[in-house]
Structure 1
Amino acid sequence: MANNVQHLSLYEQIKQYLLTEIELAHLLPHDRLPSESELTKQFSVSRITVKKAMSDLVEQGIVYRIQGKGTYVAASDRSHAAGDPAVKPKITKSVALLLPFINNQHNALLLNGVESILSEAGYSLLFCNTENSIAKEERTIREMVERNVAGMIIYPVDGESYNREILQLTLDSFPLVVMDRYLRGIDTNCVCPDNLKGAQEGVNHLISLGHRHIGFLSTEISGTSSIEDRLAGYEKALAENQIPIDRRYRYVDIELGEPKPIKEKIRDFLLRHPELTAIFAINPGLGLQVIKVASEMGIRVPEDLSLIFFDDFELSEFYSVMPTFISQEENLLGKEAAKLLISIIENPEQDTKKLFFPPKLTIRESTAKPRSARSSI
């Protein structure tokens, strides 16, 4: 069942992306859509997933195919094959969802949750990719205001501690919900996982297995509340279990997107600290690199090194080592963000709300007792 949900989320993500491109007039009537190959690369999904999204849009009369040439945006008054249902008039109330990435399972599930609630309430969704750029995020916010959307849900970009456009929306009492993380110093509505408790639970699990030398791997911490809170949870778990906090075990400036330097940094970190028996990583990107580097170094996971990280990834149950992970319950977060935004739109005088939801620890194959603990049994 889980696989079906993940697959559906990715297909809905592609479908919603194309709908938003049409709604924003980035794609005009009779413009050619990106090819299936292009969409497959852009979203890092299978060709079957892309085909399903395109087929749904054809059936709804939103796009049409020309054999051997491609798929095109349909005109609003375009005639379709006999028996096809008429295209429904567009919903006038629109909500914008701004995400920093569009090609991972985490955001696909957030999108799925948001869309399901908005659709039930009669709102259309404009899905905007900010490409993890503050400048593009600010431009997109201004564009959405100009389009008179009823409200916005914004997932801030990495490293963002302040955004003047979000501050302006807050000062103007514009219906807004910040999702997944929050911006310190800006009093706005937010829906977030409780990253501190999630990290604390994950590290407590490692400690319960007998680990005392636990490393912490992350990208740049400063300015990203979710990472700051995960570090705080890691340190709180150690402190409450009377384990000294050794800052040498923190590696916090690893940048994603450059696999070779990341692998070299992780290899150097493991070589410098052979006493480490466990690693807590802030995301699956870093976690999977740990598994690869450890394998190359002859370090077995979990026999020699236990590993836990935030967020699952697609088809993880088929990975060489099924990872123990902390789920942010993304579908729930998306639903709650949409519910809160609708409530704000319909009752704008209400007080600001900050909602935090407990993540869920899923224990699988990448964590085990350290060798020293097992040998003493």
Structure 2
Amino acid sequence: MEALYQQVYQSIKADITNGKFQVGDRIPSEKELSEKFQVSRITSKKALELLMNEGYVYRQRGRGTFVADSSTNQIKQSPDVKKPLFGLIITSLDGSFGNDLVTSLTEDTDEEFFVILKISLGLPDKEEQMMQELIELGVDGMIVAPAHSEHYSSEILKMVVNKFPLVLIDRSIKGIGVTSVSTDNQEAAQTGVNYLFDIGHQHIAVLMPSNFETTTIEDRIAGIVHAYAEKNVMVDKSLWHADIHSTLPYPLASKEEDIESIKKHIQKHPEITAIFALEYNIALLAKKAIEELDLKVPDDISIICFDSPPFNDLELNFSHLKQDEKELGKKTIKRLMDMYKGDLQIKKDEISATLVKGETTRALTQEGQ
């Protein structure tokens, strides 16, 4: 059975080819088509885009959609054909990760399009509302960093079912086929743990945010576990700490509360020699907690994390796994433009991160172990 948007497309195409709509005639709008065929605006929009891509119609901003004269290639000659408008929904903008990504998405490309940026703060209800608003604005595609990996919104499901151009960035959603672009988080985390193993660390604490129900964090955890398995070393999850709340896009605790929590965890486990913070801002909290315990980084406890913003003379250069934000942005735009032009294949891209050795890790001597 044909998809709904294809049924709408075939109906309008037939009206054009049999002469019901003549060259230059205005055809029904997205809203009018959705009411006539009892389908969503996404479906009618997709049908019109397919007609436009095949040269049957052209659009004029503020006026509507009109039947094109294929003999004169009117769709290409029309100066008023609009550039695609894309929606971009991310959880937050952060100096450690996000700023370069957004720059790449909006500037580092030769394609001509417009982008509307919205920040969801990782709140599912807010995310869904933003999707609805962007659809009502008539966006031609969407890039979303979803708040959760399992509890996806009905709006995402609608876009998938209607084959609306959609790319998930930085994470994916379980159990749903949708194009995504992210860091290879499992590979990166495995690299980080192997580095700590190589310089003599065995008692490694893993610090993570309390909302670890995203594929980003889940994949990093999987990478850590895989690294232990390859070394035939038992994972000691008593050293892990998943009670960090202040680094969430919508903080649920103060930084001071999280620092105290980390201090208590370190005091409870004096055998810890290294900390793997799954986010940069958690690494900052860990460093502060260590210092408040009158210990030193990396002399007493080493720290490695994901990402680290540009350094200045007052900050340590953290050892970290550097995500390639520019490549993530470029690949995401390419995938979205491909979908906008009709390539609806589901693709999953994972970009490798790079290990950067900084000042926050040191090799353990035999005595230091």
When the two structures are superposed, what TM-score results if normalisation uses the length of structure 1?
Answer: 0.72
Runs in 1 of length 4+ with deviation above 4 angstroms?
none
Paired residues of 1:117 and 1:339 also in contact (CA < 8 A): no
Paired residues of 2:307 and 2:320 also in contact (CA < 8 A): yes
Residue of structure 1 equivalent to 2:333: 338
Q: Does 1:285 align with 2:281?
A: yes
Q: Give me the whole-angstrom Cα distance separating, in 2, the residues matched to 1:196 and 1:224.
A: 13
Task: Rate the CA distance shift 1:180–1:240 in 2: closer, same or farther, 3 A.
Answer: same
Q: Give me the whole-angstrom Cα distance separating, in 2, the residues matched to 1:318 and 1:154.
A: 36
Q: Does 1:96 align with 2:96?
A: no
Pairwise CA distance, 1:211 = 0.5
Residue of structure 1 equivalent to 2:139: 149
What are the equivalent positions in structure 2 for 1:26-175 lying under 5 Å apart? 92-117=83-108, 120-157=110-147, 161-175=151-165
Residue of structure 1 equivalent to 2:357: 363
Residue of structure 2 equivalent to 1:67: none
Task: Rate the CA distance shift 1:159–1:300 in 2: closer, same or farther, 3 A.
Answer: farther
Residue of structure 2 equivalent to 1:11: none
**3-state SS of 1:196 partner:** helix
Q: Give me the whole-angstrom Cα distance separating, in 2, the residues matched to 1:159 and 1:171.
A: 18
Paired residues of 2:146 and 2:152 also in contact (CA < 8 A): no
Task: Rate the CA distance shift 1:325–1:291 in 2: closer, same or farther, 3 A.
Answer: same
**3-state SS of 1:252 partner:** strand
Percent of paired sites with the same residue = 30
**3-state SS of 1:121 partner:** coil
Paired residues of 1:161 and 1:223 also in contact (CA < 8 A): no
What are the equivalent positions in structure 2 for 1:202-351 lying under 5 Å apart? 202-220=192-210, 222-256=212-246, 257=251, 258-313=254-309, 315-348=310-343, 350-351=344-345
Which of 1 and 2 has greater Rg?
A: 2
Pairwise CA distance, 1:242 = 2.1
Pairwise CA distance, 1:375 = 5.5
Residue of structure 2 equivalent to 1:373: 366
Task: Rate the CA distance shift 1:308–1:105 in 2: closer, same or farther, 3 A.
Answer: closer
Q: Give me the whole-angstrom Cα distance separating, in 2, the residues matched to 1:112 and 1:153.
A: 14
Q: Give me the whole-angstrom Cα distance separating, in 2, the residues matched to 1:311 and 1:158.
A: 21
Paired residues of 1:134 and 1:160 also in contact (CA < 8 A): no
Q: Give me the whole-angstrom Cα distance separating, in 2, the residues matched to 1:375 and 1:222.
A: 32
Pairwise CA distance, 1:253 = 2.6
Q: For each residue in 1:282-317, what CA deviation from the matched residue of structure 2 results, as whole angstroms up to 9, or x when unmatched?
A: 10111001111111111111111110001112x334
- Matched residue type, 1:108: N
Q: For each residue in 1:292-350, what CA deviation from the matched residue of structure 2 results, as whole angstroms up to 9, or x when unmatched?
A: 1111111111111110001112x3343442100111111110111011100111124x3
Pairwise CA distance, 1:263 = 0.7
- Matched residue type, 1:329: D
Equivalent pairs, count: 285
Pairwise CA distance, 1:240 = 1.2
Pairwise CA distance, 1:137 = 0.9
- Matched residue type, 2:334: K
**3-state SS of 2:350 partner:** strand
Q: Give me the whole-angstrom Cα distance separating, in 2, the residues matched to 1:288 and 1:222.
A: 18
**3-state SS of 1:253 partner:** strand
Q: Give me the whole-angstrom Cα distance separating, in 2, the residues matched to 1:242 and 1:319.
A: 40
Task: Rate the CA distance shift 1:197–1:158 in 2: closer, same or farther, 3 A.
Answer: same
Q: What is the alpha-carbon root mean square deviation over aligned residues?
A: 2.0
**3-state SS of 1:135 partner:** helix
Pairwise CA distance, 1:248 = 0.3
- Matched residue type, 2:357: I
- Matched residue type, 2:87: A
Residue of structure 2 equivalent to 1:59: none
Q: Give me the whole-angstrom Cα distance separating, in 2, the residues matched to 1:152 and 1:129.
A: 13
Q: Give me the whole-angstrom Cα distance separating, in 1, the residues matched to 2:211 and 2:223.
A: 13
Q: Give me the whole-angstrom Cα distance separating, in 1, the residues matched to 2:243 and 2:81.
A: 46
Pairwise CA distance, 1:252 = 1.3
Q: Give me the whole-angstrom Cα distance separating, in 2, the residues matched to 1:323 and 1:271.
A: 23
Q: Give me the whole-angstrom Cα distance separating, in 2, the residues matched to 1:242 and 1:367.
A: 23
Q: For each residue in 1:139-165, what CA deviation from the matched residue of structure 2 results, as whole angstroms up to 9, or x when unmatched?
A: 111111112211011111257642221
Paired residues of 1:161 and 1:224 also in contact (CA < 8 A): no
Unmatched runs of 5 consecutive residues or more in structure 2: 1-79
Q: Give me the whole-angstrom Cα distance separating, in 2, the residues matched to 1:287 and 1:207.
A: 19
